[in-house]
Amino acid sequence: MTDTINADTRFSSPYGAWMQVFAFVYDSFLWLGEIAGMRKRRSELLADARGRVVEIGAGTGLNLVHYRDEVAELILTEPDASMRRRLERSLQRSGRAARIVDAPAERLPLADASVDTVVSTLVLCTVDNPERTLAEIARVLRPEGQLLFIEHVRARSRFLAAYQDMLFRPWRAFAGGCCCNRQTVKLLRDCGFNVEADDAVWRSMPTIVHPIVVGRAIRS
Ligand SMILES: C[S@@+](CC[C@H](N)C(=O)[O-])C[C@H]1O[C@@H](n2cnc3c(N)ncnc32)[C@H](O)[C@@H]1O
Protein backbone atom coordinates (compact mmCIF):
# COMPACT_ATOMS: atom_id res chain seq x y z
CA MET A 1 0.00 0.00 0.00
CA THR A 2 1.44 3.33 -0.95
CA ASP A 3 -0.33 5.34 1.72
CA THR A 4 0.46 3.23 4.74
CA ILE A 5 2.26 5.41 7.25
CA ASN A 6 4.58 4.36 10.01
CA ALA A 7 2.89 4.30 13.37
CA ASP A 8 3.60 2.68 16.68
CA THR A 9 0.83 0.09 16.66
CA ARG A 10 2.04 -2.03 19.56
CA PHE A 11 -0.92 -3.25 21.56
CA SER A 12 -0.91 -5.24 24.73
CA SER A 13 -4.29 -6.25 26.12
CA PRO A 14 -4.51 -5.98 29.91
CA TYR A 15 -6.76 -9.04 29.72
CA GLY A 16 -3.83 -11.21 28.57
CA ALA A 17 -4.49 -14.94 28.54
CA TRP A 18 -8.23 -14.44 29.09
CA MET A 19 -8.45 -12.95 25.58
CA GLN A 20 -7.55 -16.39 24.19
CA VAL A 21 -10.59 -17.86 25.94
CA PHE A 22 -12.77 -14.89 24.99
CA ALA A 23 -11.79 -15.21 21.32
CA PHE A 24 -12.46 -18.97 21.49
CA VAL A 25 -16.00 -18.56 22.89
CA TYR A 26 -16.85 -15.29 21.10
CA ASP A 27 -18.87 -16.61 18.14
CA SER A 28 -20.75 -19.12 20.32
CA PHE A 29 -21.55 -16.42 22.89
CA LEU A 30 -22.99 -14.17 20.17
CA TRP A 31 -24.65 -16.92 18.13
CA LEU A 32 -28.20 -16.57 19.46
CA GLY A 33 -28.06 -12.78 19.20
CA GLU A 34 -26.81 -13.06 15.63
CA ILE A 35 -29.68 -15.23 14.48
CA ALA A 36 -32.18 -13.21 16.52
CA GLY A 37 -31.48 -10.07 14.50
CA MET A 38 -27.89 -8.87 14.76
CA ARG A 39 -26.86 -10.60 11.54
CA LYS A 40 -29.62 -8.74 9.68
CA ARG A 41 -28.57 -5.44 11.26
CA ARG A 42 -24.96 -6.01 10.20
CA SER A 43 -26.10 -6.73 6.66
CA GLU A 44 -28.32 -3.61 6.47
CA LEU A 45 -25.60 -1.38 7.92
CA LEU A 46 -22.85 -2.69 5.66
CA ALA A 47 -24.97 -2.31 2.52
CA ASP A 48 -23.89 1.36 2.81
CA ALA A 49 -20.15 0.64 3.02
CA ARG A 50 -18.40 1.88 -0.08
CA GLY A 51 -15.03 2.76 -1.53
CA ARG A 52 -12.01 2.22 0.64
CA VAL A 53 -13.32 0.63 3.82
CA VAL A 54 -11.52 0.18 7.14
CA GLU A 55 -13.12 -1.97 9.80
CA ILE A 56 -11.72 -1.39 13.28
CA GLY A 57 -11.60 -4.26 15.81
CA ALA A 58 -12.83 -6.76 13.23
CA GLY A 59 -12.76 -9.59 15.80
CA THR A 60 -13.52 -13.02 14.40
CA GLY A 61 -14.84 -11.58 11.12
CA LEU A 62 -18.61 -11.70 11.65
CA ASN A 63 -19.05 -8.76 9.23
CA LEU A 64 -17.11 -10.28 6.36
CA VAL A 65 -20.03 -11.94 4.59
CA HIS A 66 -22.00 -8.69 4.54
CA TYR A 67 -19.71 -6.46 2.46
CA ARG A 68 -20.97 -5.80 -1.05
CA ASP A 69 -19.48 -4.92 -4.42
CA GLU A 70 -19.42 -1.18 -3.67
CA VAL A 71 -16.43 -1.92 -1.44
CA ALA A 72 -13.35 -1.26 -3.56
CA GLU A 73 -10.79 -2.13 -0.89
CA LEU A 74 -11.24 -3.70 2.54
CA ILE A 75 -8.81 -3.28 5.42
CA LEU A 76 -9.55 -5.18 8.63
CA THR A 77 -7.75 -3.96 11.73
CA GLU A 78 -7.54 -6.14 14.82
CA PRO A 79 -4.97 -5.66 17.59
CA ASP A 80 -5.59 -8.85 19.55
CA ALA A 81 -3.59 -11.86 18.34
CA SER A 82 -6.19 -14.49 19.31
CA MET A 83 -8.97 -12.63 17.51
CA ARG A 84 -6.70 -12.02 14.55
CA ARG A 85 -5.99 -15.74 14.09
CA ARG A 86 -9.73 -16.37 13.84
CA LEU A 87 -10.15 -13.42 11.53
CA GLU A 88 -7.49 -14.83 9.21
CA ARG A 89 -9.36 -18.14 9.03
CA SER A 90 -12.71 -16.42 8.40
CA LEU A 91 -11.15 -14.34 5.65
CA GLN A 92 -9.70 -17.43 3.97
CA ARG A 93 -13.06 -19.18 4.14
CA SER A 94 -14.87 -16.14 2.73
CA GLY A 95 -12.69 -16.02 -0.39
CA ARG A 96 -12.87 -12.22 -0.16
CA ALA A 97 -9.89 -9.98 -0.86
CA ALA A 98 -8.95 -7.97 2.22
CA ARG A 99 -5.90 -6.97 4.18
CA ILE A 100 -5.61 -7.67 7.90
CA VAL A 101 -3.68 -5.07 9.88
CA ASP A 102 -2.44 -5.49 13.43
CA ALA A 103 -3.27 -2.09 14.92
CA PRO A 104 -5.39 -0.55 17.65
CA ALA A 105 -8.02 1.96 16.54
CA GLU A 106 -6.20 4.66 18.48
CA ARG A 107 -3.24 4.38 16.09
CA LEU A 108 -4.26 3.49 12.56
CA PRO A 109 -1.31 3.17 10.18
CA LEU A 110 -3.17 4.97 7.40
CA ALA A 111 -2.71 8.34 5.78
CA ASP A 112 -4.90 11.35 6.51
CA ALA A 113 -8.13 11.60 4.49
CA SER A 114 -7.54 8.27 2.72
CA VAL A 115 -10.66 6.28 3.70
CA ASP A 116 -14.29 6.48 2.53
CA THR A 117 -15.93 4.31 5.20
CA VAL A 118 -14.90 3.26 8.68
CA VAL A 119 -16.89 0.42 10.24
CA SER A 120 -17.16 -0.18 13.98
CA THR A 121 -19.42 -2.89 15.34
CA LEU A 122 -19.23 -3.48 19.09
CA VAL A 123 -15.77 -1.89 19.28
CA LEU A 124 -16.16 1.69 20.53
CA CYS A 125 -17.28 0.15 23.84
CA THR A 126 -13.94 -1.65 24.11
CA VAL A 127 -11.23 0.70 22.88
CA ASP A 128 -8.99 2.00 25.68
CA ASN A 129 -9.25 5.60 24.60
CA PRO A 130 -12.49 6.45 22.78
CA GLU A 131 -11.64 10.15 22.26
CA ARG A 132 -8.31 9.25 20.65
CA THR A 133 -10.04 6.58 18.54
CA LEU A 134 -12.64 9.04 17.26
CA ALA A 135 -9.95 11.62 16.48
CA GLU A 136 -8.09 8.91 14.56
CA ILE A 137 -11.23 7.95 12.63
CA ALA A 138 -11.81 11.63 11.79
CA ARG A 139 -8.19 11.89 10.65
CA VAL A 140 -8.30 8.98 8.21
CA LEU A 141 -11.76 9.75 6.78
CA ARG A 142 -12.00 11.75 3.60
CA PRO A 143 -14.24 14.84 3.70
CA GLU A 144 -17.80 13.46 3.65
CA GLY A 145 -16.44 10.07 4.65
CA GLN A 146 -18.67 8.07 6.97
CA LEU A 147 -18.40 5.99 10.11
CA LEU A 148 -20.97 3.17 10.13
CA PHE A 149 -21.57 1.73 13.55
CA ILE A 150 -23.51 -0.68 15.72
CA GLU A 151 -22.62 -0.15 19.37
CA HIS A 152 -24.19 -1.00 22.67
CA VAL A 153 -24.38 2.02 24.96
CA ARG A 154 -25.32 3.26 28.40
CA ALA A 155 -28.99 2.62 29.09
CA ARG A 156 -31.44 5.51 29.18
CA SER A 157 -33.37 3.85 31.99
CA ARG A 158 -31.91 4.91 35.34
CA PHE A 159 -32.47 1.46 36.75
CA LEU A 160 -30.62 -0.32 33.94
CA ALA A 161 -27.86 2.32 33.89
CA ALA A 162 -27.32 1.76 37.63
CA TYR A 163 -27.15 -2.00 36.95
CA GLN A 164 -24.52 -1.36 34.24
CA ASP A 165 -22.52 0.84 36.64
CA MET A 166 -22.69 -1.84 39.34
CA LEU A 167 -21.52 -4.66 37.05
CA PHE A 168 -19.04 -2.52 35.12
CA ARG A 169 -15.87 -4.12 36.48
CA PRO A 170 -16.78 -7.83 36.33
CA TRP A 171 -18.34 -7.37 32.88
CA ARG A 172 -15.26 -5.53 31.65
CA ALA A 173 -13.01 -8.33 32.86
CA PHE A 174 -15.24 -10.99 31.26
CA ALA A 175 -15.77 -9.19 27.96
CA GLY A 176 -12.18 -8.28 27.14
CA GLY A 177 -12.34 -4.62 28.20
CA CYS A 178 -15.92 -3.81 27.16
CA CYS A 179 -17.35 -0.76 28.98
CA CYS A 180 -21.06 -1.49 29.15
CA ASN A 181 -22.02 2.04 30.25
CA ARG A 182 -20.17 4.10 27.64
CA GLN A 183 -22.09 7.05 26.16
CA THR A 184 -20.85 6.51 22.64
CA VAL A 185 -23.30 8.76 20.76
CA LYS A 186 -22.49 11.67 23.09
CA LEU A 187 -18.78 10.99 22.62
CA LEU A 188 -19.23 11.02 18.83
CA ARG A 189 -21.02 14.36 18.97
CA ASP A 190 -18.49 15.81 21.43
CA CYS A 191 -15.73 14.79 19.01
CA GLY A 192 -17.37 16.75 16.19
CA PHE A 193 -19.31 14.10 14.27
CA ASN A 194 -22.81 14.62 12.89
CA VAL A 195 -24.66 11.53 14.02
CA GLU A 196 -27.81 9.82 12.75
CA ALA A 197 -28.61 6.84 14.96
CA ASP A 198 -31.53 4.63 15.88
CA ASP A 199 -31.94 2.80 19.17
CA ALA A 200 -32.55 -0.92 18.97
CA VAL A 201 -32.50 -3.98 21.18
CA TRP A 202 -29.79 -6.60 20.86
CA ARG A 203 -32.19 -9.50 21.18
CA SER A 204 -31.18 -12.66 23.02
CA MET A 205 -28.22 -10.94 24.66
CA PRO A 206 -27.87 -10.00 28.36
CA THR A 207 -29.63 -6.78 29.37
CA ILE A 208 -26.28 -5.32 30.42
CA VAL A 209 -25.61 -4.70 26.69
CA HIS A 210 -28.97 -3.03 26.00
CA PRO A 211 -29.66 -0.84 24.17
CA ILE A 212 -27.70 -0.77 20.94
CA VAL A 213 -27.41 2.19 18.59
CA VAL A 214 -27.18 1.69 14.84
CA GLY A 215 -26.18 4.52 12.58
CA ARG A 216 -23.84 6.69 10.63
CA ALA A 217 -21.56 9.52 11.69
CA ILE A 218 -20.09 12.06 9.30
CA ARG A 219 -17.11 14.29 10.01
CA SER A 220 -18.32 17.82 10.42
C1 LIG B 1 -16.78 -7.22 21.17
S2 LIG B 1 -15.50 -7.51 20.03
C3 LIG B 1 -16.29 -7.04 18.46
C4 LIG B 1 -15.73 -7.81 17.29
C5 LIG B 1 -16.40 -7.51 15.95
N6 LIG B 1 -16.25 -6.13 15.59
C7 LIG B 1 -17.85 -7.88 15.94
O8 LIG B 1 -18.69 -7.07 15.54
O9 LIG B 1 -18.16 -9.01 16.31
C10 LIG B 1 -14.42 -6.15 20.33
C11 LIG B 1 -13.18 -6.20 19.45
O12 LIG B 1 -12.43 -4.99 19.63
C13 LIG B 1 -11.06 -5.34 19.67
N14 LIG B 1 -10.32 -4.27 20.35
C15 LIG B 1 -9.99 -4.17 21.66
N16 LIG B 1 -9.30 -3.05 21.88
C17 LIG B 1 -9.19 -2.43 20.68
C18 LIG B 1 -8.56 -1.23 20.25
N19 LIG B 1 -7.92 -0.43 21.12
N20 LIG B 1 -8.63 -0.93 18.94
C21 LIG B 1 -9.29 -1.73 18.07
N22 LIG B 1 -9.89 -2.87 18.41
C23 LIG B 1 -9.85 -3.22 19.71
C24 LIG B 1 -11.03 -6.66 20.39
O25 LIG B 1 -9.82 -7.35 20.18
C26 LIG B 1 -12.24 -7.35 19.77
O27 LIG B 1 -11.90 -8.02 18.61
Higher pLDDT, 7 or 145: 145
The alpha carbon of 128 is separated from its chain's Cα centroid by a whole number of angstroms, namely: 13
What amino acid occupies position 134?
L
pLDDT at 16 over 80: no
Residues 60-119 pLDDT 10s: 999 999 999 999 999 999 999 999 999 999 999 999 999 999 999 999 999 999 999 999
Kindly give the interhelix angle for 18-33 and 81-94, rounded to the nearest 10 degrees. Answer: 50
Kindly give the distance from the C-alpha atom of residue 162 to the centroid of ligand 1, in angstroms, as a whole number: 25
Smallest CA-to-CA distance from 155 within 128, 129, 183, 177 is with 183
Query: Atom 3 (ligand 1): residue with closest C-alpha?
Result: 122
Per-residue confidence band for 5, with pLDDT thresholds at 50, 70 and 90: low
Q: Which residues line ligand 1 (CB under 6 A)?
A: 56-59, 62, 78-80, 83, 104-106, 121-123, 126-128, 176-177
Residues 106-139 pLDDT 10s: 999 999 999 999 999 999 999 999 999 999 999 9
Query: Atom 26 (ligand 1): residue with closest C-alpha?
Result: 59
Model pLDDT, residue 1: 38
Q: How far apart are CA 71 and CA 53, in angstroms?
A: 7
Kindly give the distance from the C-alpha atom of residue 201 to the centroid of ligand 1, in angstroms, as a whole number: 20
Residue 151 region by backbone torsions, left for phi larger than 0, else alpha for psi between -120 and 50, else beta: beta
Smallest CA-to-CA distance from 65 within 37, 86, 82, 40 is with 40
Kindly give the distance from the C-alpha atom of residue 55 to the centroid of ligand 1, in angstroms, as a whole number: 10
Model pLDDT, residue 155: 98
Bond prior to 130 in cis (omega within 30° of 0): no
Query: Atom 4 (ligand 1): residue with closest C-alpha?
Result: 59
Model pLDDT, residue 2: 32
Per-residue confidence band for 40, with pLDDT thresholds at 50, 70 and 90: very high
Q: What is the mean pLDDT of residues 180-198?
A: 98
Q: How far apart are CA 65 and CA 105, in angstroms?
A: 22
Q: What is the mean pLDDT of residues 44-66?
A: 98
